[in-house]
Amino acid sequence: MAAVVIAGASVAGLASALALSGQGHDIVVLERGPRPPEGPYGEVVGDWHRPLVPQAAHSHTLAALGVKVLRERAPRVLAALREAGAVALDLTAALPPTVKDREPRSDDAELTALGCRRGTLDLVLERAVRALPDVRIAYGDGVRALRLEADGRRVTGVVTAGGPLAADIVIDATGRRAESRRWLTAEGVPVADDETAPSGLSVFSRFHRLRPGARPGPLGRGNAAGIVGRHYAGLLHPGEDGTFGVLIGALPGDQTLAALGDPERFAAVARLTPGLAPWLEQADPVSPVHTMTAPHNALRGLATTRQRPVAGLFAVGDAVCVTDPLYARGVSLALAGAFRLADLLASAPAVDIALSRRVARSNEELYGPWFRQSADDDRIRIAQWRAAIAGRPAPSVPTALGGRPLLSEACAAAASDGEVWRGLTRMLTGLRTREEVFDDAEFRARVRRAPAIGTSTHLLAPGRAELARALGSYDVRGRFDRAA
């Protein structure tokens, strides 16, 4: 029996405990934050303040990858989410009307997302893990340091506020902080550099609730309504029991959109965004406007084969890889990573350096493609948004290496080709990597052959001048100028 310490009780840490339960381990989850609130989900989730998990206050959806993991590995949690009001979202309902071949495919069932606020998902998962007989969750006490053997090659335990705690396995589930970097540095173990790329995103989110009898508009993106446009993004994600979140994304430093923290100006931009008004006209806000600057896309060096391995130390979720929240993949990757790590631990003859190397290779296989996709597509989006803000023509986009279609090209082709739409949707929702979809010869040929049809929602979105009129104008110090 191994003594397992998991640092962090958000999705990655709780999913790790769930995945490891039943394997004969003694599992302790250490969480620096306070115990989550008790009571009915709908009554308490809005009052759950989590400064260590700022993304939990923002618009959220569980992508198809996350639904697939729960369906196959934790069906009771998925059932509990449905009982809590989470909505199954059939992504094929968003098949463009301009696609002629509308016959269902045998594997369309996996194209299902889940509408659920992040706080509700975390509460359901926490209560499921808390009920496990071999798991203990300790709140208000986190990992302060690692304890290693003299040569620094193996974990022997951790140090907490309450003192030392022996451990054979330590899992860093501290999210974007990836605290194992600090733990190793303090013990004199060199830490491999991270790969990073800017996400170029400031996020403004607000939650709403539909009024009784409301009949909202369609979800043109399957799990969302709205656009990722030429100078900003406006997206709506349905939640449980008639709730939904609206997210508006802007470039950090965009002075025009800096006003979005104000509820009235947030609402003005949301109503102007294609696809959102039919929902907002039938709903009332139930939260303030939450703001966050997204961190860089990052693939942590310590979780890859570039790191000198330490037997018994592993990472999961955002402690391994952070990607742009516009892609809504973080929770799904955390779930997939937790169960993959548990499988590797269950199949290993010993918790040794060889196991650490296998886990590092697995991390690169699971997380690496999503880091690269997010970094590449964010680089293009950031350049386009900067040009639009400055009033310059859109920059030319370099031809993709090796003939791989660009994301924009695949989106355009998906409007007329159902096979392209399905491949693109599987990539966007985490079921298949960009390499698996975009490097397929038949997919590339279909993208090239697809006719350009319809009117892009980008052309229906408000331009800079229209947004400025809705928001008022700001001087260079970001103050509202009512006389302008």
Nearest by Cα to 44 from 55, 35, 54, 31: 35
Torsional sign, CA 229, 232, 238, 243: negative
Q: What percent of the chain has pLDDT over 90?
A: 80
Q: Going by C-beta distance under 8 Å and a sequence separation of 6 or more, which residues neighbour residue 196?
A: 296, 297, 298, 299
State how far the Cα of 384 lies from the Cα of 480, in Å rounded to an integer: 26
The one-letter amino acid code at 38 reads: E
Is pLDDT at 481 greater than 70 in this prediction?
no
Give CA–CA dist 244/407, Å, rounded: 27
**Region 49-67 average pLDDT:** 84
Average pLDDT, the chain: 92
Task: With cut-offs at 50, 70 and 90, classify the pLDDT of residue 213.
Answer: very high
20: number of CA atoms within 13 Å, CB side? 31
pLDDT tens per residue, range 125-164: 999 999 999 999 999 989 999 999 999 999 999 999 889 9
Q: Predicted confidence band at 410 (pLDDT cuts at 50, 70, 90)?
A: very high
Residue 454's pLDDT is what?
Answer: 55
pLDDT of residue 407 exceeding 60: yes
With a CB cutoff of 8 Å and minimum separation 6, the contacts of 335 are 11, 15, 65, 66, 69, 70
| Amino acid, single-letter form, for residue 207 | F
**Do residues 263 and 289 touch, judged by C-beta distance below 8 A?**
yes
pLDDT for 90 beyond 90: yes
Q: Are strands 283-285 and 480-481 parallel, antiparallel or unpaired?
A: unpaired
Rg, C-alpha atoms of the chain: 23
Which whole number is the average pLDDT over 10-14?
Answer: 96
Q: What percent of the chain has pLDDT over 70?
A: 95
Average pLDDT over residues 199-215: 95
Q: Cβ of 389: how many Cβ atoms within 10 Å?
A: 18
Per-residue model confidence (pLDDT) at position 456: 55
The pLDDT of residue 474 is above 60: no
Q: Tell me, what's the pLDDT at 52?
A: 72
377: its two tokens: 């597509």
Judge whether residue 18 has pLDDT over 80.
yes
Statement: residue 47 has pLDDT above 90: no
| Per-residue pLDDT reduced to its tens digit, 227-282 | 999 999 999 999 999 999 999 999 999 988 988 999 999 999 999 999 999 999 99
Tokens of 143: 């990992």
Instruction: State the Cα–Cα distance between residues 427 and 195, nearest whole angstrom.
Output: 22
Beta-ladder partners of 158: 146, 165
Q: 458 pLDDT exceeds 70? A: no
**Position 479 confidence tier, pLDDT thresholds 50, 70, 90:** very low
Which residue type, as a one-letter code, is found at position 89? L
Q: What is the pLDDT of residue 478?
A: 36
The pLDDT, as a whole number, for residue 398 is 64
Exposure on the CB side of residue 24, measured as CA atoms within 13 A: 4
pLDDT confidence bin for 480, thresholds 50/70/90: very low
Domains of the chain: 3-61+116-197+296-374 (3.50.50.60), 202-293+460-481 (3.30.9)
Beta strands in 306-429 (DSSP E): 313-315, 321-322
* Count of Cβ atoms closer than 10 Å to residue 423 Cβ: 24
Predicted confidence at residue 477, as pLDDT, reads 34
| Model pLDDT, residue 397 | 72
Query: 334-338, 345-349, 418-422, 479-483: which has the minimum mean pLDDT?
Result: 479-483
Euclidean distance between CA atoms 285 and 267, whole angstroms: 10
pLDDT for 461 equals 84
